[in-house]
Structure 1
Amino acid sequence: PTGAITLRDCLLQYYEQEELSGGDKYKCDHCKQHHDSIKKLSLIQPPEVMTVHIKRFKYDAFFGNNTGSKLTDSVEFPMTDLNVRQFTKPSEKYREEQATTIYDLFALVEHRGNLSGGHYVGYVQHEGSWFECDDTRISPVSAEFVSKVEAYILFYRLRCPRARVEERENILG
Structure 2
Amino acid sequence: MFGGQLQSTVECQTCHYKSVTFETFWDLSLPIPTSSSDLRSSVSRMSKQPCRLHDCLTEYSKEEMLEEPYKCEKCKKPNKATKRITIFRSPEILVLHLKRFSYTMYSRDKIETCVAFPVRNLSIEFMLSDISPFKDDAQSYDLFATSNHMGGLGGGHYIAYTKNIDTEAWYQMNDSKVSPMPGDGPGANLGSSTYVLFYQKQRASKRESID
Q: Same fold by TM-score, threshold 0.5 exceeded?
A: yes
Normalising by structure 2, report the TM-score.
0.65
Match of 2:21? none
- The structure with the largest helix share of the pair is 1
Deviation, 1:59, is: 2.1
Give matches, 1:111-122, under 5 Å: 111-122=149-160
Aligned partners of 1:85, 1:41: CA distance in 2, in Å?
14
Normalising by structure 1, report the TM-score.
0.78
Aligned partners of 2:195, 2:100: CA distance in 1, in Å?
7
Note the alpha carbon deviations across 1:82-117, whole angstroms, 9 max, x for none: 11001001532x34xx52100111100000111121
- Gaps (5+ residues) in structure 1? 163-173
Larger Cα-atom Rg: 1
User: Aligned Cα RMSD in Å?
Assistant: 2.8
Change (3 A) 1:117 1:25: farther
Aligned partners of 2:160, 2:76: CA distance in 1, in Å?
46
How many residues are paired up? Answer: 155
Match of 1:45? 89
Deviation, 1:35, is: 3.5
Residue 105 (structure 1) aligned with residue 143 (structure 2): yes
Structure 2 counterpart SS, 1:43: strand
Change (3 A) 1:151 1:143: farther
- Gaps (5+ residues) in structure 2? 1-34, 37-48, 206-211
Change (3 A) 1:117 1:29: farther
2:119–2:184 contact (8 Å) kept in structure 1: no
Identity of aligned residues (%): 31
Match of 1:91? 132
Aligned partners of 2:151, 2:139: CA distance in 1, in Å?
34
What letter corresponds to residue 110 of structure 1 in structure 2?
Answer: N
**Given the alignment, which residue of 110, 117, 121 partners 1:81?**
121
**Given the alignment, which residue of 61, 69, 81 partners 1:15?**
61
Match of 1:151? 194
